[in-house]
Amino acid sequence: MTEAPLAGRRFYFVGIGGAGLSAYANIARAWGAEVRGWDARETIFMGTLGGVAVDVGGEPSPPPGYEVVLSTAHAGRVEGLPRADFLAELVALRRSIVVGGAHGKTTTAAMVAFALRELGHDPAWIVGGVVPQLGGNAGVGEGWLVVEGDESDRSIGLLRPEIGVVTNVELDHHATFASEAELEDFFETWLAGVPAVVRGRELEPVSFDLAVPGEHNRLNAAAALAALELAGIPRSDAEPVLARFEGVGRRFELVGERGGVRVYDDYAHNPTEISAALRTARERTERRLVAVYQPHVYERTRQLAGELGAALGLADAVVVTDVIGGRDAPREGVTGKLVLDHVPEGVRRGWAPTLEDAALVTIAWARPGDLVVTLGVGEPWRIARAIVEGVEA
């Protein structure tokens, strides 16, 4: 590969503030392209885009001569290349490791990239979260390219890596797959075209100590180790490095503590992930556990309201906001209240349609010694920050 395989090209990323497109933009400019972009609002990922001209608000307006790359959330706003096709182009330009699966793919991909970098292999990486130890959600080394794939729109099926990882299989995207069996067949069809394969369900959790908590992270580390072995890294070299991995932003991330109330934020958005996050939280407090959840995607909320409510019931008190859309159209009768109604009796319940409402309710409930976890795909981190700022010192 040349040092600048995208030299001479100009890209305008529509949705550049998202986890994916912000990473693609950083890779593209590192590989020689001129980059600009647009998003509807400020996001936490824009902090990684220093020096990139970004239009915020209104409608996207690509300059003449720029190739447009569209995030899934903004498909149809302007004509352009779907982000999945652009990612497939990036993967084709480098020896690549692609990590997919229902849960843990961001952390597993970040673990692989971190180990490769710490062991001197100079990787590039594109993951769906900010990794403080790596300095962001994208890196531009000259070695392996480590990528988090996405099954939600089947786009991982377009990627042709040298090593493919599927952490686990569980139906999460009901508008894309009719059953878990269909999802299983999809992943197996993708893996059939990959030279070297890791299936997380065939692995035992690692037994050595990790800096990140939870049994789910022991499984993530096992998948990362297996991928690293396929990339030529001995386990004896990789294990002590993975033990130092401190996690991904919005993965049980401590936002702050004030007035004796600790506030964590987590990306968990489906029943399995919510259960894992709340079990991890329960291990860290002998007092009340408060969960604040922002549902994501109307169809998931409709299909899994009972399971979501049951998972949230692991907390002592639960606050639920309305659904954040964007991926699918609203459905009559499907709101966050549907989830809240399935939270078990005996758990204190609060309905807070907006993020601001959720922060105010939680601040009113919070007592010294409580542990609060905000959960969801959208912007529950804003709730977490507001709680830390609003609790009386």
Say what the pTM is: 0.85
Structure tokens at 6: 């995208």
Roughly how many angstroms between the first and final C-alpha of the chain, as a whole number? 55
Question: Which parts of 31-179 fold into alpha helices (H)?
Answer: 83-92, 105-118
CA 335 to each of CA 85, 318, 330, 344, 373: distance values in angstroms, whole numbers, following the listed order? 33, 16, 9, 18, 21
pLDDT at 130: 86
What totals of helices (H) and strands (E) does the chain contain, helices first? Answer: 11, 17
> What b/e readout covers 361-388, taking b as 16+ CB neighbours within 10 angstroms?
bbbebbeeebbbbbbbbbbbbbbbbbbb
389 in Cβ contact with 362 (< 8 Å)? no
C-beta separation of 218 from 235 below 8 A: no
Residue 393 has pLDDT above 80, yes or no: no
pLDDT, tens digit, 9 for 90 and up, residues 51-89? 999 999 999 999 999 999 999 889 889 999 999 999 999
Q: For residue 58, give the nearest of 38, 44, 76, 78 by alpha carbon.
A: 38
What is the per-residue pLDDT for 326?
65
Residue 232: predicted pLDDT:
98
Angle between helix axes 105-118 and 235-242 (nearest 10 degrees) is 110
Which amino acid is present at 340? L
> What confidence tier does 128 reach under pLDDT thresholds 50, 70, 90?
confident
Tell me the mean pLDDT in the region 6-31.
Answer: 94
d(CA 163, CA 227): 7
Q: What is the pLDDT of residue 2?
A: 53
Nearest Cα residue to 104 out of 144, 151, 71, 60: 151
pLDDT recorded at residue 27: 94
Closest by CA to 273, choosing from 221, 308, 229, 234, is 308
Q: What is the DSSP code (8-state) at residue 204?
A: P
The rounded mean pLDDT for the chain is 95
Is residue 166 predicted with pLDDT exceeding 90?
A: yes
Give the torsion sign (CA, 15, 17, 23, 28).
positive
